[in-house]
Amino acid sequence: MSPTQHDVGPETVVLGIETSCDETAAAVVLGGRDIISSVVSSQIDMHAEFGGVVPEVASRAHLESMNPVVRKALADAAIEPTRVDAVACTVGPGLIGALLVGVSSAKALSLAWNVPFVGVNHLEAHLYAGFLEDELLEFPLVVLLVSGGHTMIVEMRDHGDYSLLGSTIDDAAGEAFDKVARFLDLGYPGGPAIDRAATQGDPDAIRFPRAMMDDGLNFSFSGLKTSVMNHVRRHPDVDSLDVAASFQQAVVDVLVHKTFRAAREVGATGVVLGGGVAANSLLRSEMTAAGRSAGIRVSLPGREMCTDNAAMIGAAGWHRLRTVGASPLDIGAFPSMPLVTSGGHPDE
Ligand code: KG4
Ligand code: ZN
């Protein structure tokens, strides 16, 4: 039974699929909100020895994991494939080889089960992670989306109606965490490694620059990374735990300051965090504190909903199916797909 745009409702079951980077994920989501199952198979160990994601390795691993991950998502949800009303999958942005594995699999399942296929923008899905865990969110919202590839402040006026208020002009926040962690030899992936190291360091030990602090809503993290490297080269005996804590404090200060400035500027009722860096302990506690003093609701999705997962794809897919409808089966994959505000995909 294929739902049309008009009968997508609380009982509609969407199977979400995500393969844009190094996580093969599938999830069953009911009514765009209830996570019935969520399975994430991470490739972190495979890429760790290279210090970063190797695209070719990622594509092959997705191919091997896809069927078992989908099977487990259905088994954990205790449903038969006949209960699935639509298959939603990330179509971009991401690594092209990795995306194609998910897109091809999702299209095959939608054909085999005779249900709609929904192409989802990965960035839009990160915006939706907040909705999976906070029923009280009301528009307009400001979302800080901070991941390994993106750092952006988005105004969300309604479902599918967004404005990009600011973004990074060089490195993404997660990229800065990963590069600094690699430089300090703290391990991979860098974000969680710095998060852990910082708990034992002094955040006030070194005053690293807060770039563009009072200059609009864009970000720059490349100078901070260089400043960390220069400091360590000039002071080889410096405690790397202090460097990690001071670096993290500088990143968090800028993220919190600009997010709340944006929230005040657009009169947002709430602030939502999304993307892998939103799992950062200091960012979470400082966002919560800033929200309390500004009287603005701050919504922090659980850490597993901040990093890449398929539940957010299922949720975004449900909203897209309801507001825009199914995607054509000849749609491709889009490595540099922007966050679109019209609900359209690049080739529609
Ligand atoms: O959203 P995500 O899982 O994948 C992308 O779409 O990029 O984000 C991954 C990024 C990596 O750069 C990783 O180091 C960072 O999120 N990250 C963190 C933490 N956990 C993951 N950064 C800071 N603190 C964390 N606890
Ligand atoms: Zn992501």
Q: Which ligand is nearest to the CA of 148?
A: 1
Q: Does 176 contact ligand 1 (Cβ within 6 A)?
A: no
* Residue 16, φ and ψ in degrees, nearest 5: -95, 145
Residue 346 has pLDDT above 90, yes or no: no
Class for the domain spanning 13-128+306-323: alpha beta
The whole-angstrom separation of Cα 162 and Cα 313 is: 17
- pLDDT in the model for residue 344: 56
Between 305 and 22, the more confident residue is 305
Ligand 2 (ion): residues with CB under 5 Å are: 147, 308
Q: Which ligand 1 atom lies nearest to the CA of residue 181?
A: 14
Average pLDDT of the chain is 93
pLDDT at 47: 73
The response to whether residue 148 sits with its C-beta less than 6 Å from ligand 1 reads yes
pLDDT band per the 50, 70, 90 thresholds, residue 341: low
Reply yes or no on whether the pLDDT at 1 is more than 50: no
pLDDT reported for residue 345: 57
CA 303 centroid distance within chain: 11
Helices 240-266 + 281-294 axis angle, to 10: 30
Nearest CA to ligand 1 atom 22: 191
Integer CA distances (angstroms), 336 to 55, 96, 345, in order? 15, 9, 12
The reply to whether domains 13-128+306-323 and 137-300 share a CATH topology is: yes
Q: What is the pLDDT of residues 74-96, one digit of tens each?
A: 999 999 999 999 999 999 999 99
- CATH fold of 137-300 reads Nucleotidyltransferase; domain 5 (3.30.420)
Rg, C-alpha atoms of the chain? 20
The pLDDT of residue 135: 81
Taking the domains of the chain in order of start, what are their residue ranges? 13-128+306-323, 137-300
Quote the pTM value.
Answer: 0.91
